[in-house]
Amino acid sequence: MLRHWHVSFLSFCFFFLFLFLFLWTSYDEISATRTFSVDLINKTCKTCSDKSTVFNYTFCSASLQEIPVSRTTNLQGLAIVAMELALQNATHTLSVIKELRRNETWGHPFASACLRDCDVLYSDGVITLVDAVAAFLEGKYGSAGAWLTAVMDGTTTCEEGFGDMEEASPLTEQNYSAFQLCDVALCIVNLLVSHA
């Protein structure tokens, strides 16, 4: 319960941090930097896509541009946006998993075991993402990257669990989105490290 309160409080703080940054920027500054920031998003997503065969440029660009503050921020801001999106995704996925587990008529016993494993993985993943954001804000980019990688591994393990049991995964879309959002954040963190 305390963990869930901590995650909710952190999400609340991030929301107001983004709102403050957005409102603090004058309209003229927003107009002047909008093209630059969209270019930064596209350039960043392209750079990351060129470095990885699993990185989805379209997903990256669409996800970041969907959040208004990302159009008026720098590379560090984009990393925070990506991590916040990953945290929202993981929190929502955890609620989907819990709802599926409450539905006792859903799937085979093997699928129930997979859902139980995914519940643990995503519960840990939410806390790990909070740790990643905290590490990033403290300038501990290596730790942030390690936490993000751990969450990505968790989404892969969740998805593969259903395949191992020859069950159709009800979480494919959520696992893919969580993996990609963490990959966006991880790539940006690595870009920041390489430019440090």
Burial 6-38 (b: 16+ CB within 10 A, else e): ebeebeeebeeebeeebeeeeeeeeeebeeebb
Going from the C-alpha of 166 to that of each of 45, 112, 113, 132, 184, the distances in angstroms are 34, 13, 12, 33, 30
Domain boundaries, the chain: 3-194
Helical pair 109-137 and 75-102, crossing angle rounded to 10 deg: 160
Yes or no: say if 161 and 118 are a contact pair by the CB < 8 Å rule: yes
- In total, the chain counts a number of residues equal to 196
pLDDT at res. 178: 97
CB-CB contact of 41 with 71 (8 Å): yes
Looking at residue 74, the DSSP 8-state letter turns out to be -
* Whether pLDDT at 123 is above 50: yes
How many C-beta neighbours within 10 Å does residue 123 have? 17
Residues 6+ apart with CB under 8 A from 31: none
28 pLDDT higher than 60: no
pLDDT tops 50 at residue 34: no
Helix, strand or coil, per DSSP, at residue 51? helix
Terminal-to-terminal C-alpha distance of the chain: 38
Check pLDDT > 60 for residue 146: yes
Confidence (pTM): 0.81
Q: Superfamily for 3-194?
A: Invertase/pectin methylesterase inhibitor family protein (1.20.140.40)
**Percent of the chain beyond pLDDT 90?**
65
Does the structure show a pLDDT above 70 at 154? yes
Give 36-78 pLDDT, tens digit per residue. Answer: 467 899 999 999 999 999 999 999 999 999 988 877 789 999 9
Note the pLDDT of residue 168: 86
Q: Check residue 110 and give its pLDDT.
A: 74
At 141, list the tokens: 């980019």
